[in-house]
Structure 1
Amino acid sequence: MREVLARVELRQLAQRITGRYHLDPLSRAETRAYVNHRLKVAGATTEIFSPAALDEVYRLSGGVPRIVNVICDRALLGAFTQETHRVSASLVRQAAGEVYGRSFSAPWLKALAGACVALAIAVLAAGAWHWSRENGAAEPSAQPVAAANAAPLAQAQIPEPSGEAGLGTGLAASEPALADMGELLRAHAGALNTDAAFARLLALWGARFDPEGGRPCDQARRQGLQCVYQQGSWGQLRTLDRPAILTLVDDEGQAHQVVISRLDDDHARLELADAPQVSVASISRYWYGDYLVLWRPPVAATQALSAGMQGEGVRWLRRNLHALQGLGPDANPEEAASDIYDEDLLRMVEDFQRRHRLKVDGIAGMQTQIVLDTLTNPAGTPRLSLPTG
């Protein structure tokens, strides 16, 4: 922000700012105090994060308050879905993995691995020393010959790197080069607006976009699709499993809309010229969690479904939850035909939400309905986990 305000064209705005304060990352102790204070303000009467969990929050967030908030929020949701009242260090690592889009291991694992490597080297060195003493005493004249033969043998076993052979070269050649997200934002700045993003996203669904046809989501609705705005993490995108428009903010504060059409553990494919593949970590530098997905609602009137409601949407919800359990309409015809959101359906929805790491509230909102639709109606639906087109 200070660099932006220092730009010549913003000097009038900078002159009107009379007070400035730059917030540095929190220390380990400040991070602990900050999290505990926020929990007490929210009504917590006991310590919810274990000391080890708070240490992990600091390690994985670097003390940046915004990242602390996001990781803690995901960790609390994870604890809720697991029905535990205590957030552990492993749960914090899982939450951070969903935020950053990559996995994290416990810090002591690196120390343990280093100790094991050091021990193995020591054992090998001791064995080599013992072997050299025994063979040196018995055959002193063989050492020069062995040394002379060892060098060419080592050279024969370690081939020189070349452009045509070599294990490392072969693996590198089989994987496409990863593009840098910052460079893509600069190179395609003029093509990363809202209209262009919706045109690409609608095309993945076999729909059309007209720049003169009105609001993009209205155009989608006329073609049987519905926009769903969300703010979340890579883990939520993988759960929804739908192509999405991500809002990215570059280093100059400019917003860009990019469409991702493929997502695995570490990489995402963008709907741009040449379909570049970018690492999740590179995108995360510019993404603050805002995204939009499309879905095709099963009934005309879409709304969040909760206990006591009645209608065709409730019947669809029950029928698809039964299908996931392997229960056909003939298993219990009367229950399968019911369009009332009763206690049995409430429990089924909660179990479904718990299994898929959704908010467990018994309310079938848009996220719950989209995930259910993805699992039960895969045909004709573009998905992040499968090639599109």
Structure 2
Amino acid sequence: MDNNYAVFKVNIYDEFACIESKCKQNCCRAGWDIIWSKNECEKIYKSKALKKSFHQMEKHFVKCNGTQKYMKLKNTIEDACPFLSEQNLCRIQLTTNYNYLSQTCKVYPRLLMEYKDYFEFSISSGCEKVVEMLLENREALGFTQSNNNLAEIRNSYGRSGKDFPSNIYKDRPILNYWIDIKYLVIEILSDRSYSIEERLFITGMAMELLRDIENEGNVEIIPQFVDMFLSENSCGKIKQQLNSIEINKENRVIHCLSYMTLIFYQEKSCKSILEKGQKNIGVDVGKVEEVNQVKNFTISTDYDKAAYATCEKLYLDFIADKEYFLENVLILNFTNMCMPFCDTSKDIFDNYYTFIICFCIFKFALTTNTDENFSIEELIRITVLSSRSMAHNSKIVPLLDEFRLQFKDINLDNMANLLL
């Protein structure tokens, strides 16, 4: 397998360096299920240095889904890695070296996605240092392209974080135009002549049209469609359509509040964000009897409109010179969530709608948490924890899918109500 593959790499990828013990949102305290291969486990089991430091190393691992090939690390009661030191450093690495870590620990927050004939190197906004980099990077986030053979790719990263079965490209031919679609989305999201919300809605318009193209069996025209859509967008034709859209702002607040409560109620790390947001806008939230059963979830639609207006004004003032940051987060999360094909059983507009909900939860969390004392540090914290709860959580998409059906809101008009 010496064939060369196209490699797309986000342009801040090589700049990343872990800030180690200085990190306030340490990923080793995120409560994630870290999977170790059998070979990785055996390597640390046999280490004499680790045996001296840790009694019964095996007790920290459990079998993963009944397989012998992989093991899952057991977190502590505080949701931390059992090998995390009091100084916020990895005791495995301190005792031995980097080579004894699991593949996940070696590469995070770096991410690798494998597609039909190309690879994509990205980086997660669930990392504090990455979010700091997104704040520092005022230029449009983009991707560099190179050609590498498979051995080079594997040596630099290892196994891919996500790939797709080869037959899916035949079953859904639109997947063969993923690069064209991603180019379209990044071009729209990077167009600073529009607000962030307008860019997201315009992308939704494109997704709806692409869904129709797929349903009609005309995916071969996608490259021409991309050129046409971008041309119409640049000449202001699409902008005119935005001016005629009517929105219901109060309905948007209720929907965003419902979504944020549903997701953050279940995430320990996000509960403080949820509670402060609720308090700031005077919300009385119903309890979730069983958080995994959406039908039991209820929420009051009462909130203090004046209090919300105050939060919104403070947020808009705070974020006014930082829209580039939201743009960077969006482009990164769109890539990392494998949009608009995160669920290949659904159409691309449906998947994109899920992405919109995730953005609205993030923005609503920022808005309702903004007060006179809101800081850059708090912006970073909410961005990191929101990204972890949504972009790194396989349970989120099906949960949102079930809940949003109660609103019957999977259409472009309701997307406008959420965004504009």
TM-score greater than 0.5 by the shorter chain: no
TM-score normalised to structure 2 length: 0.26
TM-score normalised to structure 1 length: 0.27
Greater RCO (CA < 8 Å, at least 6 residues apart): 2
Larger CA Rg, structure 1 vs 2: 1
